């Protein structure tokens, strides 16, 4: 049975079909063809070349028109944010903050680099190939200096402290990023910082690695590495749209709704079950992979882990940190 525009969407989101998974791209294509056909009928003496120019103009006009489902972004702008190289993103400037001391990732990287520089660029790994216990303790000791520390209740085994690298997710994440970014390698039982990276650190300090580490986290690192979620939804393509929206309002539940509306195909990756709707499953992925183990690891936001007050569910709020504002400057406000 074919769904009507106002019928509940079959994906289980609870929204009307026209507000959820209806193929808006096909609808726009039909409207465009009808518009061009109307123009041709009203101007029968136009040549084929002239009609092609009319079509090109109308396509460009449509692609540059703000869309409500993209929170005011045009299709052209959204295409840039989804597919352009890291260095060619439009309407956003990515800066290197002067002070990186509030970023867990960058502080942990500094500890790794300092350890290497004290030993001619290399230091010994554990028998398991992990960072040495001394460095892990140093990384654990800086927890009180991070904004996230106000929410930590059990520092023995957590994201930001641990007795070894295996039980210290943010530190392990940092080490992986440093390897992906080409700053260091593990070879012959040693962690070795590359010669070029040593020179960069001596000349420019920690700031030299902020953008390479950030780009590695966004484009090369597997966001599902730490979790055991059943569906492997790759959210990296949508990172800038999500960051822009969260910086705009800070409401995590609103962000999840906006992503579901902008990219309804994502919902099709999550089959309905008796516990969670597709949109709720998408929300779990966004909170685990984007909120918790990207934005918080970098020190861009904090989120109070408390979910309920008695039996009442608390709204999820991202507390925007200065580091996020200093790093990302959007010239497009949207809706």
Three-state DSSP class for residue 3:
coil
Q: Which residues are paired to 93 by β-bridges?
A: 329
- For the cut 60, the answer to whether the pLDDT of residue 155 exceeds it is no
Q: Per residue in 37-77, pLDDT tens?
A: 776 777 777 777 776 776 666 666 666 788 999 999 998 89
Number of alpha carbons in the 13 Å side-chain half-sphere of residue 149 = 12
- Identify the pLDDT of residue 13: 42
What is the maximum span of the chain, computed from C-alpha positions, in angstroms? 81
Closest CA relative to residue 24, chosen from 55, 67, 58, 64: 67
Q: Per residue in 243-258, pLDDT tens?
A: 999 999 999 999 999 9
Q: What is the pTM of this model?
A: 0.83
Question: Residue 19: what are its φ and ψ, rounded to 5°?
Answer: -100, 5
Q: Per residue in 90-121, pLDDT tens?
A: 999 999 999 999 999 999 999 999 999 999 99
- Identify the pLDDT of residue 300: 98
Spatial separation of the C-alpha atoms in residues 210 and 77, rounded to whole Å:
25
pLDDT > 70 in the chain, percent: 82
Q: Per residue in 290-300, pLDDT tens?
A: 999 999 999 99
- For the cut 80, the answer to whether the pLDDT of residue 191 exceeds it is yes
More confident residue, 259 or 35: 259
Tell me what the pLDDT averaged over the chain comes to: 87
* Other beta carbons less than 10 A from residue 25's beta carbon: 9
């Amino acid at each position: 049975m074919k769904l009507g525009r106002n019928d509940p969407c079959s994906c289980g989101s609870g929204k009307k079909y026209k507000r959820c998974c209806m193929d808006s791209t096909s609808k726009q294509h039909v409207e465009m063809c009808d518009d061009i056909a109307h123009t041709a009928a009203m101007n029968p003496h136009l040549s084929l070349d002239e009609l092609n120019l009319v079509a090109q103009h109308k396509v460009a006009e449509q692609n540059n028109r703000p869309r409500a489902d993209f929170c005011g972004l045009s299709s052209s702008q959204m295409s840039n944010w989804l597919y352009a190289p890291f260095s060619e993103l439009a309407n956003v400037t990515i800066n290197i903050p002067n002070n990186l001391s509030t970023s867990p990732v960058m502080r942990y990287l500094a500890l790794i680099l300092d350890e290497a520089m004290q030993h001619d660029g290399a230091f010994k790994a554990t028998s398991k190939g992990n960072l040495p216990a001394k460095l892990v303790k140093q990384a654990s000791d800086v927890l009180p200096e991070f904004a996230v520390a106000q929410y930590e209740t059990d520092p023995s085994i957590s994201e930001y402290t641990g007795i070894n690298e295996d039980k210290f997710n943010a530190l392990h994440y940092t080490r992986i990023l440093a390897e992906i970014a080409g700053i260091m390698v593990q070879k012959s039982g040693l962690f070795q910082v590359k010669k070029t990276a040593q020179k960069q650190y001596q000349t420019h300090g920690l700031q030299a690695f902020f953008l390479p580490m950030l780009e590695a986290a966004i484009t090369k690192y597997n966001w599902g590495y730490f979790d055991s979620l059943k569906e492997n939804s790759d959210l990296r393509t949508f990172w800038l749209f999500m960051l822009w929206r969260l910086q705009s309002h800070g409401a995590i539940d609103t962000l999840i709704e906006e992503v579901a509306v902008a990219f309804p195909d994502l919902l099709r990756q999550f089959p309905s079950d008796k516990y969670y709707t597709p949109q709720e499953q998408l929300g779990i992925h966004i909170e685990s992979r984007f909120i918790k183990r990207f934005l918080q690891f970098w020190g861009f936001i904090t989120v109070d882990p408390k979910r309920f007050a008695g039996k009442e569910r608390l709204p999820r709020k991202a507390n925007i940190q200065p580091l996020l504002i200093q790093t990302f400057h959007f010239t497009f406000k949207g809706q």
